[in-house]
Amino acid sequence: MAKPEKHVFVCAQSRPPGHPRGSCAQLGCTAVFQTFAQQFEAGQFHGKFQLTSTGCLGACDVGPTVIVYPDAVMYAKVKPEDVGEIVSEHLQKGEPVERLLAPAGVWS
């Protein structure tokens, strides 16, 4: 396996309905993950970029969340229709998508 340029983590945390923290699963993370997978396949990005579903990333109130490493950029409230922009602007061009950035407070 080649070392990827970027590694995309999509939160797939699932909690029971009514849980006080909520979860990315309740907010549509599965569709976000699937859209990334489709974009990677269509663009033949496997090997260049890595995609992983993960447990809680800690920002449950702004989910679905996505983190791109090694850039340490977290995206919040990501929808399937946002994925193409993340792929083209951030992954391919190196420019984070400002409108989707998680609030600075999630890192404190």
Beta bridge partners of 3: none
What is the rounded distance in angstroms from the CA atom of residue 61 to the CA atom of residue 49?
Answer: 27
Domains of the chain in start order, with CATH, are: 8-95 (3.40.30.10)
- pLDDT given for residue 53 in this prediction: 96
Give me the residue label for tokens 């792929």.
Answer: 87
What pLDDT is attached to residue 69? Answer: 96
Distances (CA, A) of 64 to 9, 29, 38, 42, 80: 11, 5, 18, 23, 10
Per-residue tokens: 71: 């850039």
Residue among 103, 86, 104, 102 nearest 94 (CA): 86
Q: pLDDT digit of tens for each residue in the chain (108 aa)?
A: 678 999 999 999 888 888 878 788 888 999 999 999 999 999 988 889 999 999 988 888 899 999 999 999 999 999 999 999 999 999 999 999 999 999 988 876
Asked if residues 51 and 8 have their Cβ atoms less than 8 Å apart, the reply is yes
- Looking at residue 108, its pLDDT comes to 61
pLDDT in the model for residue 21: 81
